[in-house]
Amino acid sequence: MSKQLHSERFTPFLQQEQLQRPRYRALFNYLQQRILEGALPPDSRLPSTRELAELLHLSRNTVKQVYEMLHSEGYIDTRQGDGSYVAPQLSLNHTQQTQSQPKRQPIQLSAMSAQLKKIRPLFHQDKQQLLLPAIPALDQFPWPVWQRSVGHAGRQMRFSRDRNFMGEPPLRDEIARYLNATRGIRCTMEQVMICSGSQQGMQLAFSMLLNPGDQVWVEDPGFPGIDGAISNAGGIKVSIPIDRHGFRADLALASEQQARLAFITPSRNFPLGYTLSIERRLQLLQWARTQGCCIIEDDYDSEFRFDGPPLTALQGLDGEDSVIYSGTFSRILHPAIRLAYLVLPPALVAPFNQMRGFLDGGLSSLPQLALADFMSRGHFAGHLRRMRKLYKARRAYLRQQVEQQFAGQLTLEPSDGGMHSVFLLPQTSDDKAIVEQARAVGLGIRPLSYYYDQQAPRSGLVIGFAGYSETQMEEGLRRLKPIVEQHLKHREANGRLH
């Protein structure tokens, strides 16, 4: 093959303005792609290593290394005394395919993936937005203290060899102690399973407890993030209304749609903040006991109750091991700490542990041991005390500002805690339109109607306060005010026309 032809074939490589580093990788990638495209046809002879090195101004050792790599991966053949050739029948060039060759068919997704299209899409959380619900005070997290705990955990890992599917024992022990003392939960560390987030815990629980077609009672309005996990497990969501006393257990029990599982937030419904009454708690526990069913108690932010101590968990009332308790550290500490946990009834520990081994083999030890150290030294409890005080003050400030600036436009929906407040709009208002406009000016508020499923939705705004200073809240409300005013004026004008 002439040097002129070699030069033409390798001109694109020579013309690259910035070669990938290292050089051998750049040349390997280039030759690999040219072979697969058919630009270097099957059985065609490659230039010798000396020729190619001179042509490309590379060292001969670099070219030799590339040829050896191409040969080891099957792209070229080396013939004794005759040089190197492109391997036969090695091309992905579609222009060279004959008419008899079938076209590439699209990948077929499962029926489950089709079901996901029917689920309410989740809001994208942009941390740069103001007034996002469920965002903690990121700037208040004690990173230097946490880094020391990470250092302690790293030293501890040198002596740890076994991986426990349930999670690191020191963290499970700290969680069990904390829940016993603060939430009235009856458990041992053996019942605590560590997850990479509450969503993973829900996915595991639903897959273990549901058969295809089984029904799951959920709150309406409620947290839409579980819809995908229920659907993925083959379950059917049955929305049950709530009122100021929480989940309408009476309606659920009276309905013909009997469930295998109930997913509820008894300490504080999301997003309205209603607490499940003791009468309804006992009704649900009785149902679970007599029907052999299970209740999943999602306790997402009960630590932040400002008008008294945290409520006793539903699990603490359960004498028949019918409740799986779910908690998370992402909301109460920092979203970057992707750790959550399940407290399982003793009978479910072994099967859940076995399934966990099949799914992911357990989590990384370092963040678990760091959190265990953080808790054992009192930093977790201290941080919670500071955040309760801070969030209570921020909640009061938000409510005061809304009352002053939006009098007659937004009405507070009372709640005794949490990380957001709900403000109701006049019932015929389009809260989704307001939120869409608010998003355009950098606000992360949510429309209340989004959280409703079957029940007639109420119109309102879900506004986060926990993660924002007074100055940030003022700025957020300043941006929101003209949007709300314009919308309500437009609504009033339309009302007069009709």
- pLDDT, residue 12, reads 65
Hey, which of 9-18, 20-29, 87-96, 312-321 has the most confident mean pLDDT? 312-321
Give the pLDDT mean for 304-321: 88
Distance CA(129)–CA(445), nearest Å, equals 9
| Of 137, 221, 134, 220, nearest in space to 420 by CA | 134
174, 316: one domain: yes
- pLDDT, residue 156, reads 84
CATH code, domain with 44: 1.10.10.10
- pLDDT, residue 7, reads 58
414, 434: one domain: yes
CATH code, domain with 409: 3.90.1150.10
- pLDDT, residue 13, reads 67
278, pLDDT greater than 70: yes
- pLDDT, residue 457, reads 95
Hey, which of 13-17, 36-40, 82-86, 169-173 has the most confident mean pLDDT? 169-173
160, pLDDT greater than 80: no
- Position 95 confidence tier, pLDDT thresholds 50, 70, 90: very low
Q: pLDDT tens for residues 341-392?
A: 999 999 999 999 999 998 888 899 999 999 999 999 999 999 999 999 999 9
CATH code, domain with 200: 3.40.640.10
Give the pLDDT mean for 217-233: 94
192 falls within a domain: yes
Tokens at 34, concatenated? 């040219």
- pLDDT, residue 285, reads 97
460 falls within a domain: yes
- Position 320 confidence tier, pLDDT thresholds 50, 70, 90: confident
20, pLDDT greater than 70: no
189, 276: one domain: yes
- Position 6 confidence tier, pLDDT thresholds 50, 70, 90: low
- pLDDT, residue 93, reads 56
Phi-psi category of 442—alpha, beta or left, where left has phi over 0 and alpha has psi -120 to 50?
left
Q: pLDDT tens for residues 132-153?
A: 998 999 999 999 999 999 999 9
- Position 107, amino acid: I
- Position 284 confidence tier, pLDDT thresholds 50, 70, 90: very high
11, pLDDT greater than 80: no
135 falls within a domain: no
203, 322: one domain: yes
Domain finish residue from 381, 400, 435: 381
177, 45: one domain: no
- pLDDT, residue 497, reads 47
293, 310: one domain: yes
Range of the domain at 396: 387-495
Q: pLDDT tens for residues 183-213?
A: 999 999 999 999 999 999 999 999 999 999 9
324, 404: one domain: no
17, pLDDT greater than 60: no
5, pLDDT greater than 80: no
101 falls within a domain: no
Beta strand 294-298 pairing with 261-264: parallel
Strands (E), 70-161: 76-79, 83-86
Give the pLDDT mean for 11-31: 72
For 464, how many CA atoms within 13 A lie in the half-sphere containing its CB?
Answer: 21
263, pLDDT greater than 90: yes
Average pLDDT over all residues of the chain: 90
User: How many domains are there within the chain?
Assistant: 3
Q: pLDDT tens for residues 36-84?
A: 888 888 999 999 999 999 888 889 999 999 999 999 999 999 888 889 9
- pLDDT, residue 94, reads 45
270, 336: one domain: yes
Distance CA(428)–CA(459), nearest Å, equals 7
134 falls within a domain: no
The burial class, CB within 10 Å (0-12 / 13-18 / 19+), for 441 is: middle
Q: Kindly list the distances between the CA atom of residue 151 and the CA atoms of 375, 380, 451, in Å, as whole numbers in the listed order.
A: 14, 17, 42
